């Protein structure tokens, strides 16, 4: 079994990005600038956002963290998005999800200008990705593609089972794995909470991508010998014995599945770090206007 080492790969990607930023700055351009909006003080969201901001510093980007109270109105948040959409000094920005219940996430995602949507959640980017057109690809699926690519894992003609169909992970992942591309060209099965006899599908899979958010859900008896297993899940489970007060679990029973598979990504140290690296790659693409030219017109509704 070989470990899919997200720590090593993300460091490699960050080095590549730093080199490019140095060249940009030497040629007289400004460094890429990522802004992040964090609403409220959810512990996990704060951790994710601070690791994104810290990573920006590591590669030489400018970053701006905008913290908003949890009771901010939807209208106020939309106004903040409008400001960032129109700020030429910001290349890309993210709104950390989940948002408080009184805010309509769909409306917020739609308000982000597609050319600054480095999370790749806007329907314009999702649609372009689906059609295999240049676009921002949502950071977690993009990170998984990088992982498969950099470990030279053959995907063509393989059967890939994706567990989970969320808009940010499972759905885009399943679309990307079937695309006429490398990595890609898989036969894909999407399993979800209404799938009957899920093990029937996972036992036939050459590649399993588990993204359901149920700690240690995928057990060794559900995996074919030699399969490639990618664990996307991150669940915090209380652990009084730890300084942080919690322990992170993936969706895979790592100890037992790792004895049976060919490759496996650990949690932590796997997909999570790749996600941050992919967000940095998307921000670089935004600064270089790789997919869209700046100042596209957009309409955020009646503010
Ligand atoms: P989500 O709750 O939006 O979606 C979960 C999906 O799993 C749903 O489509 C649901 O149908 C499916 N599901 C739930 N129970 C199931 C079951 N028993 N059998 C089969 N399918 C089932 O979650 P999400 O946002 O897609 O995130 C999934 C996990 O990945 C979470 O643990 C999350 O924290 C983690 N995550 C990690 C990263 C990262 O960077 N590593 C990024 C995003 C999400």
Whether 9 is covered by a domain: the verdict is no
Which amino acid residue places its CA nearest to atom 35 of ligand 1?
Answer: 233
Ligand 1 binding pocket mutation candidate from 97, 164, 269 (most atoms within 8 A of CB): 164
Tell me if 280 is assigned to some domain: no
Distance in Å, CA 98 to ligand 1 centroid:
13
Which pTM was predicted?
0.96
Q: Which of 61, 85, 116 is the last residue of a domain?
A: 116
- 213 closest CA partner among 235, 193, 231, 228: 235
Nearest one of 176, 156, 159, 180 to 168, comparing CA atoms: 176
Which CATH number characterizes residue 91's domain? Answer: 3.40.50.10860
Q: Which atom in ligand 1 lies closest to the alpha carbon of residue 213?
A: 32
User: Is residue 47 in contact with ligand 1, taking CB distance under 6 Å?
Assistant: no
Tally of domains within the chain: 2
Lowest-pLDDT range of 209-213, 235-239, 272-276:
235-239
118 band by pLDDT with thresholds 50, 70 and 90: very high
For residue 86, tell me if it sits in a domain: yes
pLDDT band at residue 292 using 50, 70 and 90 as cut-offs: confident
Residue 241 is given by DSSP the state T
Mean model confidence pLDDT for the chain: 96
Residue 206 has pLDDT above 70, yes or no: yes
Gap from CA of 195 to ligand 1 centroid (Å): 14
Buried b (16+ CB within 10 A) or exposed e, 206-244: bbbbbbbbebbbbeeebbeeebbbbbbbbbeeeeeeeee
Q: Average of pLDDT values for 94-110?
A: 97
Average pLDDT over residues 66-84: 98
Q: Ligand 1, from 105, 163, 166: best to mutate by most atoms within 8 Å of Cβ?
A: 166
**Are residues 156 and 83 part of one domain?**
no
180 pLDDT band, cuts 50/70/90, is: very high
Distance separating alpha carbons of residues 5 and 266, to the nearest angstrom: 7
Q: Are residues 246 and 187 in the same domain?
A: yes
pLDDT at 299 over 80: no
266 phi and psi angles, rounded to 5 deg: -85, 165
Range of the domain at 69: 17-116
59 has pLDDT over 70: yes
Residue 297 belongs to a domain: no
Active-site amino acid positions: 52, 96, 119
């Amino acid at each position: 079994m070989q470990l899919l080492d997200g720590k090593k790969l993300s460091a490699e990607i960050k080095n590549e990005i730093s080199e490019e930023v140095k060249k940009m700055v030497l040629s007289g351009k400004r460094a890429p600038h990522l802004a992040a909006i964090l609403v409220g003080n959810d512990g996990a969201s704060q951790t994710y956002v601070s690791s994104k901001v810290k990573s920006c510093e590591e590669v030489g980007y400018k970053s701006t963290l905008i913290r908003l109270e949890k009771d901010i109105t939807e209208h106020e948040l939309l106004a903040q998005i409008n400001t960032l959409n129109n700020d030429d000094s910001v290349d890309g920005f993210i709104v950390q999800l989940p948002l408080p219940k009184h805010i309509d996430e769909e409306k917020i995602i739609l308000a982000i200008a597609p050319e600054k949507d480095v999370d790749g959640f806007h329907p314009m980017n999702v649609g372009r990705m689906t059609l295999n057109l240049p676009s921002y690809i949502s950071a977690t699926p993009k990170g998984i593609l990088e992982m498969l690519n950099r470990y030279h894992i053959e995907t063509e003609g393989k059967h890939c089972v994706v567990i989970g169909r969320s808009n940010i992970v499972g759905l885009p992942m399943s679309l990307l794995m079937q695309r006429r591309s490398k990595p890609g060209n898989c036969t894909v099965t999407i399993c979800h909470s209404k799938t009957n006899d899920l093990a029937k599908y996972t036992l036939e899979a050459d590649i399993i991508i588990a993204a359901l958010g149920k700690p240690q859900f995928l057990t060794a008896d559900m995996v074919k010998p030699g399969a490639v297993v990618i664990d996307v899940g991150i669940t915090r489970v209380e652990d009084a014995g730890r300084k942080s007060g919690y322990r992170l679990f993936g969706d895979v029973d790592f100890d037992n599945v790792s004895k049976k598979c060919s490759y496996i990504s650990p949690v932590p140290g796997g997909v999570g770090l790749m996600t941050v690296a992919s967000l940095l790659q998307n921000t670089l693409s935004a600064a270089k206007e790789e997919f869209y030219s700046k100042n596209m017109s957009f309409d955020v509704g009646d503010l």
